[in-house]
Chain A
Amino acid sequence: MSAVVLDHIQKWYGKEKTIALKEVSLEVEEGELFGLIGPDGAGKSSIFRILTTLILPDGGKASVLGKDVVDAYKFIRESVGYMPGRFSLYQDLTVEENLHFFATVFGTTIEENYDLIKDIYVFLEPFKHRPAGKLSGGMKQKLALCCALIHQPKVLFLDEPTTGVDPVSRKEFWDMLKRLKSKNITVLVSTPYMDEAGMCDRVALIHQGKILAIDSPEGISKAYPFDLYEVKSDKISVTLNQLRKHISVKSCYSFGDVLHVSFEKGFTAINEVLDAITIDHLEVKKIEAGVEDSFMAYMTN
Chain B
Amino acid sequence: MEKVITAHQLTKKFGQFIATNAITFDVKAGEIFGFLGANGAGKTTAMRMLCGLSKPSSGEAKIAGYDIYTQTESIKQHIGYMSQKFSLYEDLTVTENIRFFGGIYGLSQQQIKEKSDALIQRLELSSVAHTLLSSLPLGWKQKLAFSVAILHEPKIVFLDEPTGGVDPVTRRQFWDLIYEAAAKGITIFVTTHYMDEAEYCDRISIMVDGKMEALGTPLELKQQFKAVTMDEVFYILARGAKRIE
Residues of B near A300 (CB, < 8 A) are: 169
Spot the interface stretch: B120-128, B144-152, B159-167.
B159-167
- CB contact list, B159-185 vs A, under 8 A: 161, 164-170, 172, 175, 179
The answer to whether A292 and B238 touch (CB under 8 A), given A164-B161, A254-B200, A256-B195, is no
Any chain A CB within 8 A of the CB of B230? Answer: yes
B40 touches A256 (CB 8 A): no
Residue of B nearest to A251 (CB): B169
Residues of A near B196 (CB, < 8 A) are: 254-256
B238 touches A165 (CB 8 A): no
Q: How far is the CB of A230 from chain B (nearest CB, A)?
A: 13
A168 touches B234 (CB 8 A): yes
Spot the interface stretch: A36-44, A88-96, A266-274.
A36-44
Residue of B nearest to A167 (CB): B234
Alpha-carbon separation in the docked complex, A192 to B198 (Å): 17
B138 touches A41 (CB 8 A): yes
B40 touches A38 (CB 8 A): no
Residues of A near B235 (CB, < 8 A) are: 167-168, 171
- CB contact list, A22-81 vs B, under 8 A: 38-42
Any chain A CB within 8 A of the CB of B39? Answer: yes
A136 touches B244 (CB 8 A): yes
Any chain A CB within 8 A of the CB of B239? Answer: yes
Most B Cβ at <10 Å: residue of A134, A136, A292: A136
Residue of B nearest to A39 (CB): B167
Alpha-carbon separation in the docked complex, A124 to B169 (Å): 37
A168 touches B238 (CB 8 A): yes
| B196-219 contact mask (Cβ, 8 Å, vs A): 1 or 0 | 101110000000000000000011
Contact partner of B165 (CB less than 8 A), chosen from A16, A127, A137, A163, is: A163
B38 touches A169 (CB 8 A): yes
The answer to whether A39 and B138 touch (CB under 8 A), given A164-B193, A257-B218, is yes
The answer to whether A165 and B167 touch (CB under 8 A), given A39-B139, A139-B244, is no
Contact partner of B193 (CB less than 8 A), chosen from A40, A165, A255, is: A165
Any chain A CB within 8 A of the CB of B229? Answer: yes
B38 touches A41 (CB 8 A): no
Residues of A near B90 (CB, < 8 A) are: none
Counting residue pairs across A and B whose Cβ atoms lie within 8 Å, the total is 97
B39 touches A166 (CB 8 A): yes
Residue of A nearest to B193 (CB): A166
Most B Cβ at <10 Å: residue of A42, A165, A166, A237: A166
Alpha-carbon separation in the docked complex, A228 to B39 (Å): 35
B169 touches A169 (CB 8 A): no
Q: How far is the CB of A47 from chain B (nearest CB, A)?
A: 16
B39 touches A169 (CB 8 A): yes
B137 touches A41 (CB 8 A): yes
Residue of B nearest to A136 (CB): B40
Q: How far is the CB of A260 from chain B (nearest CB, A)?
A: 10
Residues of B near A207 (CB, < 8 A) are: 167
| A138-174 contact mask (Cβ, 8 Å, vs B): 1 or 0 | 1100000000000000000000100111111101000
Residue of B nearest to A135 (CB): B245
The answer to whether A39 and B38 touch (CB under 8 A), given A139-B244, A165-B193, A255-B196, is no
Most A Cβ at <10 Å: residue of B175, B239, B245: B245
Any chain B CB within 8 A of the CB of A299? Answer: yes
Could you show 28 A-B contacts with beta carbons less than 8 Å apart? A39-B139, A39-B165, A41-B137, A134-B245, A136-B40, A136-B245, A138-B39, A163-B165, A164-B164, A166-B193, A167-B38, A167-B238, A168-B239, A168-B241, A169-B38, A192-B165, A193-B194, A208-B137, A253-B168, A253-B172, A254-B172, A255-B196, A256-B195, A256-B229, A256-B230, A257-B219, A296-B168, A296-B169
Q: A40-B166, A256-B199 are in contact. List 15 more A-B contacts (CB 8 A).
A: A39-B139, A40-B138, A137-B39, A138-B244, A163-B164, A167-B235, A168-B238, A192-B165, A254-B175, A256-B196, A256-B198, A295-B167, A295-B168, A299-B169, A300-B169
Nearest first, the 10 closest Cβ-Cβ pairs linking A and B are: A40-B165, A39-B167, A256-B199, A166-B38, A256-B196, A137-B39, A257-B199, A136-B40, A168-B238, A192-B165
